[in-house]
Amino acid sequence: MRLLIIGRLNGELVTASKMAMSRGAAVTQADAVEQGLNVLRARGADLVMIDVSLSVRGLVAALAEERIRTPVVACGTGTDARAAVAAIQAGAKEYIPLPPDPDLIAAVLEAVAADARAFVWRDPAMERVVKLAEQVARSDASVLISGESGTGKEVLARHVHARSGRAQKPFVSVNCAAIPDALLESELFGHEKGAFTGAVARRIGRFEEASGGTLLLDEISEMDVRLQAKLLRALQERVIDRVGGGQPVKVDLRVLATSNRNLAEEVRKGTFREDLLYRLNVVHLRLPPLRERPGDILELAAHFARKYAEANGLPDRPLSAEARRLMVATPWRGNVRELENTLHRAVLLASGPEIDGEAIRSPEGDALEAGPVGAAARAAEAAEAVTRGLVGRTVAEVERDLILDTLDHCLGNRTHAAKILGISIRTLRNKLNEYVGSGIAVAEPGHTRALAAYG
C-alpha cells in the first residue's frame, strides 16, 4: 500500500502518517500539490491524502487532466465542517477529521488496499480453476484469464497477485477497452515532457508503476494490433520506451491479461497477434459463467447480502426460501456482476426479517421472470442425471457408446469422428473392428447404425 501525503507534516499529519505506517503503508510526503504531482508522475501511489488547506479541486483536476486515477481523500481539523463539504464537492472520495482516529485511518487504508469484491466460491467448477491459479501464483509466468463479462476475471487476477511472491508490491490494472488507442501507449509506457500536446511533464506509465509487482491488462483483446507489437517487445525484453523518450527503461513485473473474447478466434480474424497470444498464454485460466457453476449462486448471494447490509447501515438478513429459489432459477446472463446488483437492490427493498422473493427485482423494479426451474438448476439436474446414468457401467461400455454415438453423428465418417473424439484414425478403426468382431453394429460411411440396419 503506497500512501502519498500532500501537506506539511506537523502535528496531526505526523500522527496520521505514523498510524498509516503502523498499518503497513509505505508513506511518501510532499509539501505542495505540484510536488505531489511530481511524485505521482515518477513513482505512482495507491492513495493520496491531502490537507484541506491546499487546493483539493486543483489536485483532482490535475489528476483528471493527466489521466492519473489514484483516489484522493482529504483531511483537516474535525471542527471545520465547511472545508470537509468543499473537499467532497471538489472530488475527494472521503474526508478524515484530524486529530486522526486509528480505526478510521485503518478503514480507509483497508478499503483501498483490499479488494472490495471478495473472492467467494464453492462450486467444483470454480474449485478447479482456483486450484490451478494458486498452483501457478508463485511463479512469474504470464497468465491469461478468459470468461464472459461479469464472471470475476479481475477478482481472480487479484487473487493470483495476493498469492504470489509479489503480493507486497503494487498491483496495477489497465482497462484497455476504456482508454482511446491514441492514449493507451502513453498510459502503458509513460511519456516525456513535450512528447505530445498536453504532456506538461515526464510521467511514468503503468509498466514502471507496476515494476516489482503485477500488471493486469484488462480486456487486452481491445488493444490496437499496432500497439500489440510494442507490448510484445516489452514482455519479451522487459524494457519499454516512453513516448518521446530516447532511452529504453528496464522493468521487472509479472503480467496478467483478461479477455471476454476467444483470442484464438481473434488471431484467425487478424485482430490479435499470434506471437503475443503465445507470450501471454503460458497459463490459461477459464472462468466458467455463473450458469455453469450453480453451487456458487447462493454462496455469492449471501456474501453480497451481508456486504450491502453493512454498507447501508441495515441489519444482516438471510434470504427466504422463495428468494433462494429465485436465485437458483435465474439464468444470470450478466453473471456475478448482475447477481451482485440484484442483491444490492434486494437489501434496500426488503422490509421484513428476511430478504424475501418480493425484494428480488430487476433494475426497473419488475419481479424477476424465472420459471420453477431456471437455467442453472436445469444444468445441475442434467449433470446429475448424466452421472446417475453412468453408475454401474464399466469404462469400456461408456467408451463404446461414446464412439458409436459420435460415429452416428458423423454419418459414418471415420476421419471426422476421430477428430471429434480426439483420437487417431488408426485407434478408431481398431476399436470399431473390435466391436464388429463382437457382433455390434457399426455405422458405415453415409449411414447411421439405424440406416445401416435397414439398408
Instruction: Render pLDDT for 260-298 as a digit per residue (tens, 0 to 9).
Output: 999 999 999 999 999 999 999 999 999 999 999 999 999
Cα gap 318→321, rounded to integer Å: 9
Q: Domain boundary residue among 270, 286, 302?
A: 286
382 is a domain residue: no
Residues 78 and 8 in one domain: yes
Cα–Cα–Cα angle for 302, 305, 309, rounded to 5 degrees: 145
Residues 11 and 94 in one domain: yes
Cell triple for 205: 506509465
268 is a domain residue: yes
Q: pLDDT tens for residues 215-229? A: 999 999 999 999 999
- At 380 the pLDDT is 52
Q: Which residues have CB under 8 Å from 124's CB, separation 6+?
A: 295
By three-state DSSP, how is residue 31 classified?
coil
Q: At which residue does the C-alpha cell 459463467 appear?
A: 289
* Helices and strands (H and E) in the chain: how many: 20, 12
Q: pTM above the 0.75 mark?
A: no
By three-state DSSP, how is residue 94 classified?
strand
Cα gap 258→153, rounded to integer Å: 7
- End-to-end CA, the chain: 75
- At 79 the pLDDT is 64
164 is a domain residue: yes
- What integer best gives the mean pLDDT of the chain? 85
Q: Which residues have CB under 8 Å from 156's CB, separation 6+?
A: 119, 129, 130, 133, 145, 285, 287
Please report the DSSP string for 326-374 in residue order: HHHHS--TTHHHHHHHHHHHHHHH--SSSB-GGG-B-TTSPBP---SS-
| Statement: residue 169 has pLDDT above 80 | yes
Q: Domain boundary residue among 312, 336, 359?
A: 359
Cα gap 202→183, rounded to integer Å: 15
Residues 270 and 211 in one domain: yes
By residue range, what is the domain housing residue 343?
291-359
382 or 101, higher pLDDT: 101
Q: Is the peptide bond before 99 cis (omega within 30 degrees of 0)?
A: yes
- At 395 the pLDDT is 83
| Statement: residue 114 has pLDDT above 60 | no
- 110-116 average pLDDT score: 56
Cell triple for 63: 489528476
φ/ψ of 238, rounded to 5, equals 55, 35
Q: pLDDT tens for residues 50-90? A: 988 899 999 999 988 887 878 899 988 766 678 888 888 88
CATH number at residue 207: 3.40.50.300
Residues 261 and 343 in one domain: no
Q: At which residue does the C-alpha cell 422463495 appear?
A: 322
Sign of CA dihedral 451, 452, 453, 455: positive
Residues 145 and 100 in one domain: no
| Statement: residue 248 has pLDDT above 50 | yes
Residue 116 pLDDT grade (very low, low, confident, very high; cuts 50, 70, 90)? very low
Q: pLDDT tens for residues 355-398? A: 999 999 988 888 776 544 444 455 555 555 555 556 667 888 88
Residue 137 pLDDT grade (very low, low, confident, very high; cuts 50, 70, 90)? very high
Cα gap 348→368, rounded to integer Å: 16
Residues 338 and 301 in one domain: yes
Residues 133 and 239 in one domain: yes
Q: At which residue does the C-alpha cell 468382431 appear?
A: 437
Cα gap 133→299, rounded to integer Å: 20
- At 39 the pLDDT is 87
- At 375 the pLDDT is 46
Residues 137 and 182 in one domain: yes
Cell triple for 97: 477529521
Residues 39 and 156 in one domain: no
Count of structural domains, the chain: 4
387 is a domain residue: no
- At 396 the pLDDT is 85
Q: pLDDT tens for residues 305-360? A: 998 898 888 999 999 999 999 999 999 999 999 999 999 999 999 999 999 999 99
Count of positions (residues) in the chain:
455
What angle, 0 to 180 degrees and rounded to 10, lies between the N-to-C axes of helices 425-437 and 414-421? 110
Instruction: Please compute, for residue 229, the number of CA atoms within 13 A of its CA located in the half-sphere on the CB side.
Output: 2
385 is a domain residue: no
Strands 94-98 and 143-146: unpaired
Instruction: Please compute, for residue 374, the number of CA atoms within 13 A of its CA located in the half-sphere on the CB side.
Output: 19
- At 383 the pLDDT is 52
Determine what percent of the chain is predicted with pLDDT higher than 70.
90
| Statement: residue 455 has pLDDT above 60 | no
161 or 395, higher pLDDT: 161
- At 129 the pLDDT is 94
Determine what percent of the chain is predicted with pLDDT higher than 90.
45
Residues 23 and 139 in one domain: no
Cα gap 454→260, rounded to integer Å: 48
Q: Are 254 and 166 in contact (CB under 8 A)?
A: yes
Most confident of the ranges 3-12, 85-94, 254-263, 355-364: 254-263
Q: Which residues have CB under 8 Å from 226's CB, separation 6+?
A: none
101 or 147, higher pLDDT: 147
Q: At which residue does the C-alpha cell 504531482 appear?
A: 37
| Statement: residue 26 has pLDDT above 90 | no
Measured between alpha carbons, how far is residue 134 from residues 98, 143, 163, 292, 315 in Å?
42, 12, 7, 21, 35
Cα gap 133→157, rounded to integer Å: 9
374 is a domain residue: no
Q: Domain boundary residue among 286, 310, 345?
A: 286
Torsion (CA) 283, 288, 294, 297 in degrees, nearest 10: 90
- At 451 the pLDDT is 44
383 is a domain residue: no
Residue 453 pLDDT grade (very low, low, confident, very high; cuts 50, 70, 90)? very low
CATH number at residue 434: 1.10.10.60
Q: At which residue does the C-alpha cell 472545508 appear?
A: 83
